[in-house]
Structure 1
């Protein structure tokens, strides 16, 4: 249950700035509050999840790897329950758990190598016989010891001292290993955070390769990733953009006005279309660009509602469909097995609730997300470059551990 301190509406920026000063549980509850209110969505969800898991690793108390994995999984489960439609939460949790397993495995291998070297150093050595003439000098350790009572007591105490004091060095070593593991995992999570923040710029770096001079590009409900991709291409290419928007807009609202202004300023002609008029323009289109919220193991994607209309129209006219997605959005599960949900939007956009009695007899749903089957996607453009459907399994195997691929955080 959210605390009474959450009566105000915090922002993600304020939350991230306060992570180092407030308790871990309060930070988790604050992020859950933002996720439930949908104040954090889209690419910000991945960034917020990574920040929170970093705090879990840094602040929580754990004595071994299993405890740390359990704490990360439990936090991921709570965040996923607060935002069931955000598959990227599970992706980041799987990445962090795989990172923990890798670092723990490296530390374990290093310890085993150290133990092996220590065991070799304790093996009895056979005295070597010198081939040089003359008497062979012997070390003091090899000289025979007289069997007096004093010498027997000294030998007994010397032999027992390593055994009686063994527990202290081992305890200190285990503590040092956990401290080292904590530092390594924190460094790894920071690398994941850098990957998330740089993904859009890296994807945009391939824009001038995918878009050619004179192209007609259709962008359906362009996300910030698509906008950055188009603006990067506009800096080097001259082409035309068809911006497809929802069928109904609020009175006086100009869809994607800021994007159109930026494109026009770079010399690129931008034309707004209604989604129900796509088929009329599709013969002129050279390629369709859409953004993915998640890319599933079978190649299907979770995207904005209505993108399937553009993708199906493109297939009818043999136009390529390019999906933009950072690798951190790759979800190694089958959508039919994960109980995938899609976000519900504001139904008042389509129904006037001032009608009263007529609306009471209706149940209107406005689904703002949908699933696009893999056969409608031609290229997956990621921060690692263009990919085909056949390469998705390899990428996911490189970024997720086999033990974590079946992890489902959305189940109660």
Structure 2
């Protein structure tokens, strides 16, 4: 059940800390509640999904790989349906499913290797005692010599090996996990949880790794247009400012906030100015006037689809189209965990609509009744408008996306529809 007190909704950090002390179902419902209320969104969704799937692996009951995959698929589908506008949730679920398949495959290969070793030992032993030829010298051996002869000892050793091989759990075929000992289940559980921790480390370190390539992409004296800079873009620009002197033009469709005490992106401007980098605030309607002076356009993506298209914040498509017309390079910053192994749907191409109250006052009732106002929250950018995909693995082009997706997702999981059913 969702938390009953809506006024005391926990933050993501407090929710993650509470996962260890909660029942699994309560943890899933708490996360779903935050996702539906948009209190967990953007990059935080990836971290929250990885944490909740780690709890699924640790706390749910399963006895073989198929059951574990089913548990992760079920929980992942519920979380993904709570926030269908966040494709990164599905990406993390598929990454964990692929991780489970890899770990199970390694266990089976280890079993097969042990079985082959046992077979080799058995093949070296004689299958039956060899017949003895009569000795050329008519000397009758004593009974004690027969009892202690090497041939009889070899036969006894072979019998021991046969008994040991019969009792051994290693056979010629790989042993399914459902027939394995509880220690095998415990080992797989531990390996998968360690793998999820590595995914969490990747998520936490991605922004800093992307920022490490800023020296290559930004040159002294550049005019860089940053459209609605996200946290990833901010770290990228601040890192570049520690090595380069350039000018940043900050543009965006930032809606007016009632009671706001400072201008948008004031903290970013303060950091850049402190490092000696000039900043210019620009409204979106003045974009075309500055594009001829700009050297490159930089923004971040919410998702990178299989065809190279992007799901971005509203307005980024205008900047990308303007840069394309003036032959200015467009650099998109996106960690690998945002790469989605699917093509964009019709809903993605149309964009998500949000609350327009930030742009129009409902106090003027007659004017509002006469208008049909749409506030587009996300845009879709086709791949032909993008020049460089800058990931935590380095700069990439559209032609290299297929290999990155193949390295991070299994074919069996790409077709799995996370949004089937009702939330």
- TM-based fold match above 0.5: yes
The separation in 2 between residues aligned to 1:98 and 1:137, in whole angstroms, is 57
Partner of 1:287: 296
Cα deviation per residue 1:76-99 (whole Å; 9 max; x = unaligned)?
A: 111111101100001000100001
Unaligned runs of 5+ in 1: 145-154
The CA deviation at 1:230 is 0.3
Give secondary structure in 2 for the equivalent of 1:236.
coil
The CA deviation at 1:364 is 2.6
Cα deviation per residue 1:22-43 (whole Å; 9 max; x = unaligned)?
A: 1111111111011111111111
Partner of 2:73: 73
Cα deviation per residue 1:93-127 (whole Å; 9 max; x = unaligned)?
A: 01000010011011111112222333444455255
The separation in 2 between residues aligned to 1:399 and 1:26, in whole angstroms, is 30
The separation in 2 between residues aligned to 1:127 and 1:141, in whole angstroms, is 10
Partner of 2:199: 192
Give secondary structure in 2 for the equivalent of 1:81.
helix
Aligned residues of 2:256 and 2:359 also touching (Cα < 8 A): no
Q: Give the 5 Å matches for 1:237-386.
A: 237-246=244-253, 248-250=255-257, 253-336=262-345, 342-386=351-395
Count of residue correspondences: 394
Partner of 1:25: 25
Superposition RMSD on alpha carbons, in Å?
2.9
The CA deviation at 1:368 is 1.2
Unaligned runs of 5+ in 2: 171-176
Aligned residues of 1:215 and 1:239 also touching (Cα < 8 A): yes
Give secondary structure in 2 for the equivalent of 1:217.
strand
Give secondary structure in 1 for the equivalent of 2:19.
coil
The CA deviation at 1:376 is 0.5
Q: Which moved more, 1:46-55 or 1:250-259?
A: 250-259
Structure 2 residue aligned with 1:138, among 145, 150, 161? 150
The separation in 2 between residues aligned to 1:137 and 1:219, in whole angstroms, is 88
The separation in 1 between residues aligned to 2:120 and 2:245, in whole angstroms, is 70
Cα deviation per residue 1:132-161 (whole Å; 9 max; x = unaligned)?
A: x998932655679xxxxxxxxxx9xx9899
The CA deviation at 1:410 is 2.2
Partner of 1:152: none
Aligned residues of 1:6 and 1:30 also touching (Cα < 8 A): no
Give secondary structure in 1 for the equivalent of 2:308.
coil
Partner of 1:109: 109
Cα deviation per residue 1:301-344 (whole Å; 9 max; x = unaligned)?
A: 00010001101110111000000000000001000378678544
Aligned residues of 1:245 and 1:255 also touching (Cα < 8 A): no
Cα deviation per residue 1:218-264 (whole Å; 9 max; x = unaligned)?
A: 00000000000000000000000000021653466512111011100
The separation in 2 between residues aligned to 1:248 and 1:108, in whole angstroms, is 55
What is the TM-score when the length of structure 2 is the normalising length? Answer: 0.86
| Distance change >3 Å, CA 247–CA 195, structure 1 → 2 | closer
Partner of 1:151: none
Cα deviation per residue 1:281-312 (whole Å; 9 max; x = unaligned)?
A: 01110000010000000000000100011011
Partner of 2:230: 223
The CA deviation at 1:3 is 4.6
Aligned residues of 1:6 and 1:33 also touching (Cα < 8 A): no
The separation in 2 between residues aligned to 1:362 and 1:9, in whole angstroms, is 35
The separation in 1 between residues aligned to 2:233 and 2:348, in whole angstroms, is 28
Structure 1 residue aligned with 2:399, among 381, 390, 395? 390
The CA deviation at 1:177 is 1.4
Q: Give the 5 Å matches for 1:9-88.
A: 9-88=9-88
